[in-house]
Homo-oligomer: A and B are copies of this chain.
Amino acid sequence: MRKIKKPELPVLAIDLGGTKLLSAIISPAGEVLAREYCFVFADEGPQSVIERIFSSINSILWQISIEPSQLNSISIAAAGAIDTEKGLVTSSPHLPGWHNIPLRDMVKEKYSVNTYLINDASAAVLGEHHFGAGQGINNLILLTIGTGIGGGIIIDGKLYSGTNGTAGEIGHMTISTNGPKCTCGNVGCLEMLVSGKAIARETIKRIRQGEKSSLVNVNDITAEEVLKAAQDGDFLASKVIFKAATCLGIGMVNIVNIFNPEMIIIGGGAANMGNLLINPAKQIVREKAFQLPANTVQIVPAQLGNDAGVFGAAIFAFQQNLKRGE
């Protein structure tokens, strides 16, 4: 029997978001051999979340009866400002208490397996570029609009992650100097005006201020419910979604003027909010951005859904193998 080489072994890829944790074992051919979801309970703090990551790794390895030594590597995509080189989660608006946590080395030491750490939106853009909406596109930007807003950048066909690996924090671009304070410490960030959390918060605020709406359970309103109400013609919900769409449009104008990309891919929950959220935002890009890049850019929904992050984390690991000549 010939010896199995590292690149032929699968990667255990993890996508650690602010709400959910997805683990998957992915072969070099892009086949998903196992997958597992759990909740993060980020409010319980880093130690507790890290225990949950270990449980998920143990459980998915058990699921297909393999040992850590039978993995090419473990690759973690995490929400926040990631120092890829040092393997640190330096800070994260969606993981309270995470400051310079050496997540890569903690996992590596526990399982004695090569481990990588990248930003979740960087992973997602790698995933969409290799297997999703961005195949064959040289310059593209991914916006994942979920609880927060993440951004990933492909330039000249390669992931651009900046000097420390933190590039792409497009959700934390100020578009309104008088806007609300963001958990990142900045003000008027795109994320504070467009994300799922922002849509829910704005609706709740307006109802509490006395505006009328068909939404009644004020303490528990979700972005999905606001969207549904807007689709049903609720005036307040429509106004909130339209305001978010306007801000998304302005954010995309900035992207178009700065990057002149071939494509902007919109992922996360918002990818499915086409008519009410994405279409008015596209209209603003056509009206407000420079004409030539506005006419060039394709604005399209993501194709891989929740799998983009784990696919991208796996691609990142295989690419790092190639660089290391393994």
Residues of A within 8 A of B (CB): 81, 83, 90-91, 138-139, 151, 153, 155-156, 160-170, 172-179, 184-188, 246-247, 250, 253-254, 257-262, 287-293, 296-297
Contact = CB atoms under 8 A, between A and B. Distances in A.
A10 B151 CA distance: 43
Question: How many copies of this chain does the complex contain?
Answer: 2
Given A174-B250, A250-B177, A163 B260 contact: yes
A186 B176 CA distance: 14
Nearest to A90: B292
A168 B184 CA distance: 25
Given A162-B259, A168-B258, 4 more contacts: A91-B290, A139-B162, A166-B293, A175-B177
A184 B290 contact: yes
A286 B139 CA distance: 30
Contacts of A155: 155-156, 160
A38 B259 CA distance: 32
Nearest to A141: B258
B253 A166 contact: no
Given A254-B174, A259-B167, A185 B287 contact: yes
Contacts of A250: 174, 177
Contacts of A253: 174, 186
B292 A164 contact: yes
Nearest to A190: B254
A163 B258 contact: no
Given A177-B247, A290-B91, A290-B184, A169 B258 contact: yes
A262 B177 CA distance: 25
B173 A258 contact: yes
B173 A254 contact: yes
Contacts of A185: 287-288
B176 A81 contact: no
A292 B259 CA distance: 23
Contacts of A168: 258
B90 A161 contact: no
